[in-house]
């Protein structure tokens, strides 16, 4: 029997388990099991060939007990409403675990960005923002980059929303170019936050970080930045993969060489992979089964499943992607004494620095990269210690502990607001 990989049902199960462990009031789960608000829109875009194409977009706002909704904007041909809802729920917990004054949001457009010209991508972005404009704003819902979107797309978001408002409104979106209100360090924030908690976990487990063998799945923004940051911290990147293949070298790969070669496998040779002296061509499945100290899924959801989790040999599994481990995969991982840094903790660096950007926008006062990283380290290490302490107190795994930390924050806020009585 195949696994149920519906992300929305996964998120609901994670919330229910944490509520049960904390013995929360039934109302806590009833409120958190569904997004508070969901919008589905359809909008026309004129394509380069003169035709009109209709696109579908979504925006989900899960819970605003702690503050306005916050979360990414993705362009994906497989994007669904359930996926969007689940991602908004995970965003709620990321913010709560790190102690941010945010609820969870997520959105995007069902499209294949590889098939869009730059002009078409801009038109899709602007049309989507016009369609969801009544639901977003600095005090309501603040989008950010996600899969297949970047700083340029966020610049278009800010510009289109500002046109609708009639004045510059930098705080409506984060992840923008620095010249128009973006924050120093935002591009590397998800990777940096993940690296900080990986290093903290290695210390806690007595793993020597210098020379630690690391395998990374995914070589997009998070994955490529992870490899260079970890390399600079003294770790050894022994394997990387992306959607088209991967490389393994027992003595370590130089991530700067891979980045220089146009983000790993994008600069093709006849063999379909870049030429890296002494490296072996590998698949994702080989990477997951590799003997290593730290395995980092940094691509997309549902990668470590009931079918392959038994092959994982890492000491630490650090989830830089959203939802990379399925419930069945997670149950197997728990039996293998693998220390998990769950996605709602390990990938929270992006939303943390997005919060810093939003604060800077509201104040019109901007920080240096050093200030940003110093504050990020304080937030991420405090969150890691809090989750670790809960895992020890309740004798639960780190994923359960992370959700328990988030649930406690949300339950306290909802109680204080009178939502539970």
- Residue ranges covered by each domain of the chain: 35-172, 189-341
Beta-bridge mates of residue 316: 294, 339
Per-residue pLDDT at 309: 87
Residues 212, 215, 219: CA angle, nearest 5 degrees = 130
Measuring CA to CA, how many Å separate 217 from each of 120, 207, 239, 300, 321? 30, 21, 8, 9, 9
Closest CA to 251 of 297, 213, 296, 284: 213
Token pair in block for residue 239: 């394997």
Dig out the tokens for 149 from the structure: 């979107």
Q: What is the pTM of this model?
A: 0.90
3-state secondary structure the chain: CCCCCCHHHHHHHHHHHHHHHHCCCHHHHHHHCCCCEEEEEEEEEECCCCCEEEEEEEEEEEECCCCCEEEEEEEECCCCHHHHHHHHHHHHHHHHHHCCCCEEEEEEEECCHHHCCHHHHHHHHHHHHHHHHHHCECCCEEEEECCCCCHHHHHHHHHHHHHHHCCCCHHHCCCCCHHHCCCCCCCCHHHHHHHHHHHHHHHHHCCCCCCCEEEEECCCHHHHHHHHHHHHHCCEEEEEEECCEEEECCCCCCHHHHHHCCCHHHCCCCCCCCCCCCCEEECHHHHHCCCCCEEEECCCCCCECCCCHHHCCCCEEECCCCCCECHHHHHHHHHCCCEEECHHHHCCHHHHHHHHHHHHHHHCCCCCHHHHHHHHHHHHHHHHHHHHHHHHHHCCCHHHHHHHHHHHHHHHHHHHCCCCC
Question: In the annotation, is 106 catalytic?
Answer: yes
- Residue 33 buriedness (CB in 10 A; 0-12 / 13-18 / 19+): middle
Residue found by looking up tokens 């002494």 in the block: 278
Maximal C-alpha separation, the chain: 66
Cα gap 244→272, rounded to integer Å: 8
Tokens 């278009």 identify what position?
156
> What local confidence, expressed as pLDDT, does residue 32 receive?
96
Q: What is the pLDDT of residue 262?
A: 43
**What pLDDT sits at residue 387?**
97
Asked if 63 contacts 36 with a C-beta cutoff of 8 angstroms, the reply is yes
pLDDT at residue number 268: 43
CATH code for the structural domain at 189-341: 3.40.50.720
| Token pair belonging to 370 | 């050093």
- Candidates 106, 236, 379, 408; catalytic one: 106
Q: Nearest-CA neighbor of 225 among 165, 331, 150?
A: 150
CATH architecture of 35-172: 3-Layer(aba) Sandwich (3.40)
What are the structure tokens assigned to 156, written together?
Answer: 């278009």
Q: How far apart are CA 274 and CA 266, in angstroms?
A: 8
Q: How many CB atoms lie within 10 A of CB 299?
A: 22
Say how many C-beta atoms besides its own lie within 10 A of residue 279's C-beta: 20
Q: The tokens 């041909």 sit on which residue?
A: 77
Q: Which two tokens stand for residue 389?
A: 């302490």
Alpha-carbon gap, residue 191 to 225, rounded angstroms: 6
Provide the residue-wise pLDDT of the chain in tens; the chain has 421 residues.
Answer: 455 668 888 889 889 988 999 999 999 999 999 999 999 999 999 999 999 999 999 999 999 999 999 999 999 999 999 999 999 998 999 999 999 999 999 999 999 999 999 999 999 999 999 999 999 999 999 999 988 899 999 999 999 999 999 999 999 999 999 999 999 998 889 999 999 999 999 999 999 999 999 999 988 778 889 999 999 999 999 999 887 778 899 999 888 887 665 444 444 443 444 667 788 888 888 888 889 999 999 987 777 888 888 898 999 999 998 889 988 888 998 899 899 999 999 999 999 999 999 999 999 999 999 999 999 999 999 999 999 999 999 999 999 999 999 999 999 999 999 999 8
Q: For residue 45, give both structure tokens.
A: 């875009």
Which are the contacts of 257, defined by CB distance < 8 A and separation ≥ 6? 276
> pLDDT tens across 21-53, in order?
999 999 999 999 999 999 999 999 999 999 999
What are 259-300's pLDDT values in tens digits? Answer: 665 444 444 443 444 667 788 888 888 888 889 999 999 987
Which sign does the torsion angle of CA 8, 14, 20, 24 carry? negative
- So what's the pLDDT on residue 153? 97
Can you tell me the distance from the alpha carbon of 14 to that of 399, in angstroms, rounded to the nearest whole number? 9
- For residue 97, give the nearest of 395, 409, 340 by alpha carbon: 409
Helix 369-394, helix 189-205: angle, nearest 10:
40
Q: Which residues pair with 56 in a beta bridge?
A: 42, 110
């Amino acid at each position: 029997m195949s696994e149920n990989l519906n992300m929305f049902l996964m998120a609901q199960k994670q919330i229910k388990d944490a509520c049960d462990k904390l013995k929360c009031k039934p109302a806590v789960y009833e409120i958190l099991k569904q997004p508070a608000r969901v919008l589905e829109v359809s909008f026309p875009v004129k394509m380069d060939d003169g035709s009109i194409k209709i696109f579908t977009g979504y925006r989900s706002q899960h819970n605003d007990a702690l503050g306005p909704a916050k979360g990414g904007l993705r362009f994906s041909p497989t994007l669904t409403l359930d996926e969007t809802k689940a991602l908004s729920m995970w965003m709620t917990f990321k913010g709560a675990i790190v102690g941010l004054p945010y609820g969870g949001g997520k959105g995007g457009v069902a499209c294949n960005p590889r098939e869009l010209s730059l002009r078409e991508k801009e038109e899709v972005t602007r049309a989507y923002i016009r369609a969801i404009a009544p639901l977003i704003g600095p005090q309501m819902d603040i989008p950010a980059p996600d899969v297949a979107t970047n700083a340029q797309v966020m610049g278009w978001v800010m510009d289109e929303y500002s046109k609708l408002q009639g004045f510059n409104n930098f705080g409506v979106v984060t992840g923008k170019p620095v010249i128009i209100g973006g924050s120093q360090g935002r591009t590397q924030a998800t990777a940096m936050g993940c690296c900080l908690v990986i290093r903290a976990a290695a210390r806690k487990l007595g793993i020597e970080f210098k020379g630690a063998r690391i395998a990374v799945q995914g070589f997009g923004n998070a994955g490529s930045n992870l490899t260079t940051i970890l390399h600079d911290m003294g770790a050894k990147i022994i394997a990387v993969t992306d959607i088209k293949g991967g490389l393994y070298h027992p003595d370590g790969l130089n991530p700067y060489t891979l980045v220089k070669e146009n983000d790993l496998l994008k600069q093709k040779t006849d063999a379909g992979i870049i030429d890296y002296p002494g490296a072996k061509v590998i698949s994702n499945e080989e990477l997951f089964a590799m003997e290593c100290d730290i395995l980092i899924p940094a691509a997309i959801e549902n990668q470590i499943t009931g079918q392959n989790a038994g092959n994982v040999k890492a000491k630490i599994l650090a989830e830089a992607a959203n939802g990379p481990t399925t419930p069945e995969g997670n149950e197997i991982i728990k039996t293998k004494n693998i220390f998990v840094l769950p996605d709602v903790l390990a990938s929270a660096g992006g939303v943390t620095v997005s919060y810093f950007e939003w604060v800077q926008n509201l104040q019109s006062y901007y920080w240096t990269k050093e200030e940003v990283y110093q504050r990020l380290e304080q937030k991420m290490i405090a969150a890691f210690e809090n989750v670790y302490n809960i895992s020890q107190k309740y004798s639960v795994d780190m994923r359960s502990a992370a959700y328990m930390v988030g649930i406690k924050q949300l339950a306290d806020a909802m109680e204080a607001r009178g939502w539970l009585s």
